[in-house]
Structure 1
């Protein structure tokens, strides 16, 4: 599986220190070009503005604010633009970005040193303010575009992973149905025929007159009984198994839930517990339910928090996965809902109840309720 993300663009592969050095160098050139006739204070502010650009990735807002004095005292553009672009790339607060653009336009348009202005000068100051404000929109919009592209790349990767997992769950559900059908055929047809063989061999053992015939009938009856036991064992295995390569790889159990939650990439809290003596099929059903629910949270509710609650009560036990409403909008992608269908089918094999649906606060809840006598 491959996905094109923002990290694959050529400029993203340039080392960060190299980019920082280039940004500082261009800012220094811009300052030197406009430094003629400036005061000592202006030179200090210009040096500060160029120096702090190296830390703009870690402290974008503070760096931008430190470039404003130099913008007020000198006719420089690059240093505040670079800081404003970095801030827009990392911040999702559009009000803050609007205020910062206004501050830059005000600092650039205000004449230095501050003294009384004539009416004509005030008019041109206002014109220059709006012109600079329109210019400041460029780094803000570009930074927001880079941020949106990066988020989109990450979302595409998450969606591809969720689709791959959904396809895997669907294939497991199909395999489980095929194995259940095969188990029924073995139980209804093969077991019946072998039972008839055992009955006929028993009758022959009783009716046979010579010892050799009775020994042969006894052997046939004994082999038939052993075959029936093996068939019952195979039918139980086919009904219990639902994943691919069941005999080759260990299936997940309750012991794997903590790792599943911590590696889900979602802010998830695991609470409660389950009895330690529940059967392996039920443990696997609980694990798959949590796995599918967290996958759906990552796919359909970006930014939401999830809670995985394990519970048990007299006669029943199960798991409830609840997530809050998403904090970011999700992409409107079609879904086959095969994951939830597979979970409902898996619950049916255990005589359990599977429920899913939205909550009143905009989140979603998935519940698996297993009877205590149906977990084997």
Structure 2
């Protein structure tokens, strides 16, 4: 029982450490350049310290901070003292001696103790642990100056806390690294002079204040980005709803207006035809109500609740299987419509099916509004990898409603088809009339 509880807490702690609290900040070219210069300066400093270690190799101890040279054997009392040899400039042979005195491994550790700072913002935790490990290994050999390595360690720890997206893991790493360095403070931490200790004690407070300020800035930036994304999503949803309502209302209301006008003209002379026109108005109104009920039903669904079911009276969205009924209602308004279907009909995704239906619906609406007396031909062609929907008319008399067109319908169709990688072509024909053609790929959507 206790073992399972301990295991569960262990996994929970690991998950907390690996939890991403904020995305890594974007890094500009200037930031990369500044980090590269900083890493280069500290790397040169540590390398210089490693190479200078060869000069102090003959120094075995210090008294009051002053080096005491090692005397390999006592000098005879009757022998005159040997004058000190002048120090010559560093030449090729002496440089080789330096490299021989400081081993290759120590030189590598000197580089690794500072060079990873070039990635202190992009990979802060990795840079921190490489710098910390190299620093501790580097100072296992006595005699090295810890100022450059300790400075690199402090900068790496600060960068891990400020820039790492894993905040809990970064704080834990910084504390663990500080404990390791404190355990080896005699070699890894520089000796403090009076007056310098106070300044160094102020550094952690300054770094902590800057870290808190940076976190607040990042939180505000994330909140602003989230608000902008939410606002953009709301605008897209409003546009989609407006387009759907446009497609539903414009077509059905246009058909009802045409039928009502025809009924008014023949009501006194041909009551039977007036009755048929009014029946068409009623049919168009019922169709409009059915589609509006579908749109409003979708708006009432809670997208955050995956278990919520659609209302029972929510009609399915229209598709190509309802094109025959659509053309029938248009014929009843007095517009000759010819429907041709080629190829083998295949089941279509709901979005593709609805988009193809809306293309035909919008084209018929524009014909009724803009080309009274035109004949319409509709072609639905199924191909193995493509669906083609084409609507052409022969042209006719422009109605007064044609001047009120905004072109929003065709723009909305292009946006709808673009979701499914489809294209829309619309324009006047050379011989007169108008053509609307939509191509929709039937591969993986």
TM-score using structure 1 length: 0.42
TM-score using structure 2 length: 0.37
Q: Flag the structure with more relative contact order, 1 or 2, with Cα contacts below 8 A and sequence separation at least 6.
A: 1
